[in-house]
Each structure stands twice: as C-alpha cells, then as structure tokens.
Structure 1
Amino acid sequence: MDGGPQPARPNPYGFIPIVVFPNVRRPKSFWGESDALVLKEVQLELNRAFTQFSRIMEVSGNPIAVLSGVTEAEDIAVQPGAVWTLPEDAKAYLLDLLANGAAQLHLEYINALYRMFHDQAEVPRTAFGDNQRNLSGVALEVEMQPLYQRVQRKRPIRTAVYKRRNEFILRLLGQFTGRRFLHRQRVVWGQVTPRDESRRAADFALLVERGLRSRRGLMDELGVADAEAEFGRWLEEQNRLGH
C-alpha cells in the first residue's frame, strides 16, 4: 500500500480466486493470444487509407491553382469571379486530384480493406444487418457460417472458465456463510442469431412426439433457464390432468 512492502499474511480464502485462461494458446507461453492481433495490420492500413482520402477531399475543396509558363505570380486568388492576368502562351488550371475516377478507386480500396477486415475477424458484414442482396434465410445462414464456427470454437473455452468461476463463487459463499452448496451446474448458451421460435418449437414437438429427442434437452436448446425445474412443472401438470 502506498508503494511500500506489505507484511505477509495467510490467504483468507485458502485458494487464489482468479481464473486465468488463454484465448488462443501459444506454444511455451502461459498467456494466450488476442484475436485482435490478426486485425491490427488491416486496421492500420484502413486508417491510412481514410486519412489519405480525407486529405485529398480537403485539397479538392480548396483547389490549388497551377500556372504553366509563368515566371512570377502574386496574389493569385482561387475564388468565384476571380480574374487572372497571364502572359501570352501561359496556362492556368486547378489541380483536380479526383479527376478520371480517382475518388472511386480510393473507395474501392477502402471497401476491399473492409472485406479483408471482416474475413479475418470471421464476422461477415451481414452480421451488422447489411443484406443488400436480399438473401433468403438459408442463404443468410450459409453466409453467417464463419461467425457460427467462431462461436463454436469459443464456447468450449468459456464454458470451462464460467464453471470454474462459479465453483470459486460457491466455495467462497459456503466458506463465509457456513452453508453447503452443490457445485453441479450447466452452462446454457443462447442462439447466435434470432430464429423463428414458432417454427423451431413445432420441429421440436415433432421430435419429442417421434421419440427422437428428450423434452429437457430441447428445453436447453430453446434457452430455458432451468430446464430441470420446467420439466418438473410439466410432469406436475400432466399428473393433475390425469395423463
């Protein structure tokens, strides 16, 4: 405290309540690797492209007068209604940095960087609601596959971390309250993208009716917070109705 050494004292918890997990494992390294590293170079190039295009637009809004065949010139004003007196055979024009489709070339390069950024991040532009091609539901799901695959890779890592964190919380709670808590837990993940719940529910009902899936398992997929308790309530209702 205050930059000075602290006296040694026993750990009141009996363990270190910190969960450390690597995002992407690196050989011979305790720490993982960030997902942002692969995006750094593209982001820097995107910043440079925007800065360059911004400067060109600024110069185009305040054009530069170019005089050819003139040895001396003073007070050359670039403004509406300005009159220039030039020697014979001299030429004068405004420097246009956006001539011959130059602006479109810059925009195409920026869009190419955007596509590269989304490809490396595995997050398609469609994930931000940009569906200019009016794709069908199946086509949209195919286009979103990179994001689905990324989520599927991340969830097992975070599932183990969340379970470990919850165990620490329950251990501390039991230690300071004197109560015993069961450490049995399940991590239920929601849908990555919005789905038609009525259609999914109808499909799940058919699977249950045919005996291909259990009710409790499908409750998990539907995002029911406590599938076990919900299944118990369903059994109670069935008993009351005499089924």
Structure 2
Amino acid sequence: MSRLSILRRRPSWWRRLLGGEISILRAGGFVASPYFTPYTLDSSRVDYGLARALYRNTDDRYKLGAGFCRPIINTTAGFMGTPHFTHPDPDADQALEAVFSRWTGKVFRINRNALRDGDVFARILRVAPRFGRGEGDWELRLIPPEWVTPVVDPITGGWQQLIIRYPGVVTDDRGQVIQRYTVTEILTPKTRTIEADSRAPADVQAQNTTEPNPWGFIPVVHFKNEAEETELYGASDLEPVEPFVKAYHDVMLFAVQGSRLFSRPKAKFKLKDVQRFLSDNFSAEEVRSGRLRFADKEIFLLQEGDDAAFITADSGLEGITTLLKFLFFCIVDVSETPEFAFGTAVSSSKASVSEQMVPLARKIRRKRGQFEEPYGELASMFLAMWSTIEGRKLDTYQADIGWEEISPRDDSEVATTVKTLVEGLAQAVESGLMSQDAAAEFLREFVPTMLPWVDPDADDDERRRVTRTMLLLRRLEDGQGLDAAGGSDEDEEL
C-alpha cells in the first residue's frame, strides 16, 4: 500500500478536528462503501435548527459571534427584492400581478429562508374563502424543509412523489404535551393521500383519505440555494462562515473572561517591618484573623524605606483586537458581504461604500439567476392552476421574469461620467477623430435609455429622436407652429 493511499484513508488529527468543526451545519447522510460507490445524489441536509439559531443568535456556543449571521442573510435577501412577471395574455398577466403582489411578504421570506436554510418548499393552494363568501382564494404556503421528503425519478430527475410529515401534539388543559403524533401527506401527479399514525386522536384519524389530484402535477416548488447537480438539497450561506463565527465567539469569550483578571490590579508592598505596617493600617481583629480588608483604604501609613505599588497584568488587548479584526475580515470575504452591512461602527478601511457595492451587485445578480428557474416554475404552476379554475386555455404557461435594476454606482458619479464622456466625444467628432455614429454607439453603453443610432428595420432610432428634439427646440425659440398638428408636421419634415 502506497503512502498516499494511507494518508487518504487515515487523515491526521487536525484534519479530523477541522472537518468536524466545519461540517457542523451539515446533517449526516448516506455514506457509500469505499469498495462499491454507486452514482447517487447526496441526501445530506443542512442542520436547519442550527442555521436558524445562528440567524437568531440563540445558540450559547456562538453567542458572541453569531450576530454577524443576520446581516449576512438580510443584506442579500433585501437587495434581491421580489421578481415581477408578465404574460402575453392580458387576463393571465393581471392575475399574475394581483396574486404575486399579495404574496410579496412570502416571496421575501422565500429569499431569506433559502439563503439561511438552503431549502424552501413553496406550495400553491386553492383554499376556501376566509369569511365564507366568494369563490375561494389562492394561498402560497411555505413548508418547513425538514418536514418534506421528495422521491426523485432517477431517469428524468422529476418527482415521483412528495412526502410531507406534519408533527402534531395532544395537550391537556394546562397546555402540557401528553402525546405526539404525525400526519403524513403523500402527493403524486395523480393522487393525494392523507394518513395519521396510530397515536393520533380519533377525530384526526377520521380525516384519513385518498383523493385524486385535480392539477395533474405536484403543486410544490423546491427553491435550492447554491444548487448542485450531485446534491438533492441546497446549501446554507452560513455554512462557509460558521467556523469563523465560532472562532470569533471563542476569542471574544476569552477576552471577556480574562478582563476580570486584567481589570483588577493587585497591591504590592515592600516593607522593612511587617508587624509595624499591619498595626498602623489594620485593626487588631483583622491582624489576628489574617483577613485584611483593603476595601475603602485610601491611605497607607509607611515607614522610611517602605514602598507600595499596584501590579497589573498585560491584558493582551492589542493582540486580541488584531485577531478579532482578522476574523471579521475573514467573515466579510467568505460571506461576500460588504463591511458597511454590519453597521456604521465598523470602519471601512479597505474600500469605500461605492467600491464595495460592485462585488455585492455581482453577488445579487448571481443569486437572482439561481432563483429565476424556480420562480418561473412557480409562476407557470399558478397559471396552469388558474387556467384550470377559470376554464381558460393559454397558448403558453411560461411567464417572463424581471427584477429591479441594481446600480452599484453613485448617481453623482454617473452624472459626472456621462458629462465628461459627452464633452470628450463632442470634441472628438468636431476635430474629425471620430464619427457621430461611433460616438453615439459608445455613449449608448452608459445610457441604457438610448436606442441604436441608426436602425432602418425599426420604427424609431436615436437619430430620429434627436432630429425631432432639435425641431421642437427650434419651434420653441421661434414661437411658431405650436398647434395640435405639430406632431404630424414634425413627421413630415423628418
């Protein structure tokens, strides 16, 4: 057996230690035998309870460092925003806009939970009207991911069925739990089965049923953060930063505990006659018992040649501060979160806010791109269910998705840049170093509202816009031709 194979099979103690610490947010899954390793999806999941405890800072093992976790998640989720959808059919487009406007709060929670937990299962339901009137309403329900187990078709990659296990409890008059049970719901494209276990009350077991699925598909969408082809579930954004959060907590805890010793100096006496010093400064009872009380001692009587001073230990604050700063920048780099997101008390010494917005904007675009597919599936699923209820037949269930524009640059800087470019390009055109077409196309990269300078196949282009603008300015100067037919006259002159 070669030395390399031995090292692979028997990792060193420090690698085992770090591996156990870093993977603490990942629950154990199936581990195949080293002699037979079939291709299978990794079914390990994020420790959802620990991820939520880090986000809320309720775990005592991370108390002094987990405060960074909430800004990491909220900053990304807040900048992502909510998508908006459009559809060619006017009625379908109106229905999409109305329902997703009402679901805005839950869409924000989808972003937050997916970044924090790694997985979100969103289910669309047609529920009865809340107040007993109307034709029912659409509801978006977020199912805790630890309740859901999808069964994947190994050939197509789709869901054969989805198993949801709802935990239930039976309480007494004082609210104490006396019995726990589970209600299992199995969804397939054709059927929906509800079954409660034997521990459930009789009225709950009476609701066991199997009924056909009216939609023809499973109305649940799986949002996976940082999805991988080889993994069934997503990954939490807190996983890579968890070791640094734990180290920050340990260093801070050591500093706080050590401050008890560092902040209380000890008295030092250099005496020629100890008995004389004791009799001059303490009572006979204190000297006899050996319990000297230094509290409220403002004056000590000393003889010639005696000396008194305080002994203070080196707190090591400089080294601790340096280590905490290093761990903080590790958290910033690994989480891809700018420094200003953690509060104004942190000085951004390495980069300004505008410079930090550039990598943040790229991260937001990447996250939006990852979530576009499940959001598009959610919109298509709603359109399919809506068309079934309304008795409509749509040409397509696919909806176009859009997001709010992210501008990492400051508006004043953009204005200054555009002004400088326009002056430089105008001078280049006047001096004959650049054509007007080339200058307009170059400027178009900085002004998104500009059309192509010349586009013979389109109804409008930038040159026609400029011509109409110049004609209008001339008429305003002359004060003539400003009548209702001005638009047609401009078109004729153009």
What code does the residue aligned with 2:252 have?
A: F
Aligned length: 209
Residue number in structure 1 paired with 2:371: 158
Q: State whether residues 56 and 97 of structure 1, in contact with CA within 8 Å, keep that contact through their aligned partners in structure 2.
A: no
State how far apart, in whole Å, the 2-side matches of 1:133 and 1:44 are.
24
Superposed displacement of residue 105, structure 1: 1.8
Residue number in structure 1 paired with 2:360: 147
State how far apart, in whole Å, the 1-side matches of 2:406 and 2:295 are.
59
Larger strand share, 1 or 2: 2
Residue number in structure 1 paired with 2:37: none
Structure 1 unpaired stretches of 5+: 216-238
Q: Counterpart of 1:35 in 2: which secondary structure?
A: coil
Kindly provide the CA deviation profile for residues 157-184 of structure 1, in whole angstroms up to 9, marking residues without a partner as x.
1111111111112222222233445534
Superposed displacement of residue 126, structure 1: 4.6
Picking from 1, 9, 31, the partner of 2:233 is 31
Q: State whether residues 123 and 147 of structure 1, in contact with CA within 8 Å, keep that contact through their aligned partners in structure 2.
A: yes
The change in CA–CA distance for 1:158 and 1:82 in structure 2 (over 3 A counts) is: farther
Kindly provide the CA deviation profile for residues 112-148 of structure 1, in whole angstroms up to 9, marking residues without a partner as x.
110000010112315567555785x9xx43x444323
Picking from 47, 51, 65, the partner of 2:266 is 65
Kindly provide the CA deviation profile for residues 72-101 of structure 1, in whole angstroms up to 9, marking residues without a partner as x.
95234355626599xx99987344342xxx
State how far apart, in whole Å, the 2-side matches of 1:168 and 1:43 are.
40
Kindly provide the CA deviation profile for residues 164-206 of structure 1, in whole angstroms up to 9, marking residues without a partner as x.
1111122222222334455342222220546429748984268
What code does the residue aligned with 1:11 have?
A: N
Q: State whether residues 361 and 408 of structure 2, in contact with CA within 8 Å, keep that contact through their aligned partners in structure 1.
A: no
The change in CA–CA distance for 1:133 and 1:34 in structure 2 (over 3 A counts) is: closer
Residue number in structure 2 paired with 1:234: none
State how far apart, in whole Å, the 2-side matches of 1:21 and 1:58 are.
48
State how far apart, in whole Å, the 1-side matches of 2:388 and 2:312 are.
76
Picking from 371, 386, 391, the partner of 1:178 is 391
Q: Counterpart of 2:359 in 1: which secondary structure?
A: helix
Residue number in structure 2 paired with 1:196: 411
Q: Counterpart of 2:224 in 1: which secondary structure?
A: coil
What code does the residue aligned with 2:367 have?
A: K
State how far apart, in whole Å, the 2-side matches of 1:65 and 1:194 are.
56
Q: State whether residues 126 and 144 of structure 1, in contact with CA within 8 Å, keep that contact through their aligned partners in structure 2.
A: no
Residue number in structure 2 paired with 1:9: 211
Q: State whether residues 357 and 409 of structure 2, in contact with CA within 8 Å, keep that contact through their aligned partners in structure 1.
A: no
Q: State whether residues 127 and 144 of structure 1, in contact with CA within 8 Å, keep that contact through their aligned partners in structure 2.
A: no
Q: Counterpart of 1:19 in 2: which secondary structure?
A: strand
Q: Counterpart of 2:266 in 1: which secondary structure?
A: strand
Picking from 198, 222, 241, the partner of 1:20 is 222
Q: Counterpart of 1:111 in 2: which secondary structure?
A: helix
Q: Is 2:493 the counterpart of 1:241? A: no
Kindly provide the CA deviation profile for residues 11-69 of structure 1, in whole angstroms up to 9, marking residues without a partner as x.
243321111143224564311222211000000111112222222334444x1536699
Residue number in structure 1 paired with 2:401: 187
Residue number in structure 2 paired with 1:210: 453
State how far apart, in whole Å, the 1-side matches of 2:292 and 2:454 are.
90
The change in CA–CA distance for 1:206 and 1:186 in structure 2 (over 3 A counts) is: closer
The change in CA–CA distance for 1:179 and 1:81 in structure 2 (over 3 A counts) is: farther
Moved over 4 A (4+): 66-70, 82-85, 88-92, 126-135
Q: State whether residues 266 and 312 of structure 2, in contact with CA within 8 Å, keep that contact through their aligned partners in structure 1.
A: yes
Q: Is 2:331 the counterpart of 1:117? A: yes
C-alpha RMSD of matched pairs (Å): 4.2
Higher alpha-carbon deviation: 52-61 or 36-45: 52-61
Residue number in structure 2 paired with 1:106: 320
What code does the residue aligned with 1:24 have?
A: E
What code does the residue aligned with 1:57 have?
A: S
State how far apart, in whole Å, the 2-side matches of 1:114 and 1:30 are.
32
Give the TM-score of the pair, scaled to structure 1.
Answer: 0.65
Q: Counterpart of 2:400 in 1: which secondary structure?
A: coil
Q: State whether residues 66 and 95 of structure 1, in contact with CA within 8 Å, keep that contact through their aligned partners in structure 2.
A: no
What code does the residue aligned with 1:77 have?
A: F
Q: State whether residues 43 and 117 of structure 1, in contact with CA within 8 Å, keep that contact through their aligned partners in structure 2.
A: yes
Residue number in structure 2 paired with 1:40: 242
Q: Rg larger in 1 or in 2? A: 2
The change in CA–CA distance for 1:195 and 1:186 in structure 2 (over 3 A counts) is: farther
State how far apart, in whole Å, the 2-side matches of 1:155 and 1:97 are.
50
Residue number in structure 1 paired with 2:38: none
Q: Counterpart of 2:322 in 1: which secondary structure?
A: helix
State how far apart, in whole Å, the 1-side matches of 2:327 and 2:295 are.
36
